[in-house]
Chain A
Amino acid sequence: MNSKSLKKKALIIAAALALPFGAAAQQYSAGSEVTVLQGFSPGGGSDALAQLVQPYLSKELGANFVNQYQPGATGAIAWTRLAKQTRADGRTISITNTPMLMTNYIMNPTITYSIDEITPLANVVTDPGVIVVRAESPYQTVEELFEAARANPETITIGNSGVGGDDYFSTIMVEKATGLKFIKVPFQGDGPSWAAALAGTIDASFNNLGITFPQIQAGNLRVLAVFTEDRLPEIPDVPTLREKGIDVVAGSSRGYSGPKGMSAEHVQQFIAAMDRVIANPDFLRDARERAFVIDYRSGDDYMTFLKNQEVTFKAIWEEVKDQAQ
């Protein structure tokens, strides 16, 4: 805990004392305290989003945010708590990461929450998927890589960030779209996956732009393709998979959701505040500095986004689960 947050803490205490006890209003007001459940350890991607967004959001909403980390089961412990054990009084929300938010319960029948039990508030960022190879790799273009896989099926090794993560599913989506077969090597996170590609242990890594960008800039990794709708300004020379006739758009997204049954006032107020944050040039500059690709979808848009993904991933998992490696 740094001194800044301690100071904030003191302010919160002062505000809480000023507030009459039990005045659980149907809207956020100055001094209300909002707990943000995080399903991952501090210092990870979710935390990075929280550190970026919450100072701005706190100013717009007037509420103070307190992060609560409950890592475990790739976020499922925190999200189960959000869906099943949290009062819908707007005082507890959670950072929701896709695709894990859905793949958790799609893949494990023991995990019982679903997106129908939450109120999606707003998605903030999407880190687009990329294919990276090391600088010395013989594959200069994505066609060359796929051609090699076509010539020798099940020999090309592709790293991903772990079963159930976005890269794992995007590998399967590419396999389905192209009819190719790769050897999918799971790693414990995006870092070890690109590091293995860099070391030449694997032929390529399906990864995320924000994570590999420093290595790409340093010339250690080469991007073969990006899984977005259109080319990105950060890497203008890199083609999208769509250009190559492969209809795969994928990435890892992070946003905010509350429990089901949050009052309409709370939801509207939260989205309105988030709208203003997204329009703030200071915020956008901060986001750019951290290589965050803003992908703002609020309210029903976010729900539709989640629902579409749920359908896709369910279909993919039904197909591959019996022959899972």
Chain B
Amino acid sequence: MYSSIIISVASIGLAVLFYSQASAYPLAASRLPMLLAWAVGGLATLVIVEELFKARRRNKIAQAAPEAAPAPDDNAVLDSAMIPPILEAEDEGPKPIVWSAALPFAAGIIAYVTLIPYVGYLLVTPVFIALGLAISGTLRWVPAILVALGMTALVWVVFIWALYMPIQLVPAFFE
């Protein structure tokens, strides 16, 4: 619940930023952006209010019957066998972030894109794939590297050979 409050606050910030920038534009260019900035700000405020309401209600329920919620009875066991995972997730709200996996993976992607203009696409891509597969323990190093080379070759054939994609292919100092 805190995450959606943080996002709402950030949205209000964005709305304020857009609103102040739009005030310098001619009327026709600023009309809709200003209107939308108000809409975003208003909706974000409503989301915050809604979340706080929910939190208060949850607190009340927790105080009224602290042990009722988690205790699984016979019925619940039977239910969980029948209800698909998607629905369970729906009831419990969104999945929590697994930082230990999400963070390095996201950092890996950012590093990958950062390095393309310097090291070249044909070098970074197989490295990214091989590292991803090997570090996660999915494959051993040798098969990981082979898979990485295969995947890169496939992308090369489709996008670079057939479609002339003008991306930095080799390290920048080779050119």
Contacts and interface: CB of A to CB of B under 8 A. Distances in A.
A1 B28 contact: no
A307 interface: no
B163 A1 contact: yes
Interface string B153-164: 000000001111
Contacts of B161: 9
A80 interface: no
A325 B28 contact: yes
A6 B162 contact: yes
Interface in B61-84: none
Interface in A60-102: 66, 68
A324 interface: yes
A6 B157 CA distance: 12
Interface string A28-51: 000000010000000000000000
Contacts, number: 13
A1 B162 contact: yes
B164 A324 contact: no
A82 to B, nearest CB: 13
B164 A68 contact: yes
Nearest to A1: B162
A1 B164 CA distance: 10
Nearest to B162: A1
Interface residues of B, number: 8
B137 interface: no
B93 interface: no
A68 B163 contact: no
Nearest to A70: B166
A310 to B, nearest CB: 24
B26 interface: yes
Contacts of B28: 325
Contacts of B162: 1, 6, 9
A324 B28 CA distance: 9
Interface string B123-167: 000000000000000000000000000000000000001111010
A68 B164 CA distance: 8
Nearest to A321: B26
A325 B26 contact: yes
Interface in A151-166: none
A6 B158 CA distance: 12
B166 A68 contact: yes
Nearest to A325: B28
A35 B166 CA distance: 10
A259 to B, nearest CB: 16
A173 to B, nearest CB: 21
Interface string A281-296: 0000000000000000
Contacts of A325: 26-28
A91 to B, nearest CB: 12
A84 B164 CA distance: 22
B26 A324 contact: yes
Contacts of A324: 26
Contacts of A35: 166
Nearest to A186: B28
A9 B26 CA distance: 49
A217 to B, nearest CB: 35
Contacts of B163: 1
Contacts of B164: 66, 68
Nearest to A68: B166
Contacts of A66: 164
Interface of A: 1, 6, 9, 35, 66, 68, 324-325
6 contacts: A1-B162, A6-B162, A35-B166, A66-B164, A68-B166, A325-B27
Given A9-B162, A66-B164, 11 more contacts: A1-B162, A1-B163, A6-B162, A9-B161, A35-B166, A68-B164, A68-B166, A324-B26, A325-B26, A325-B27, A325-B28
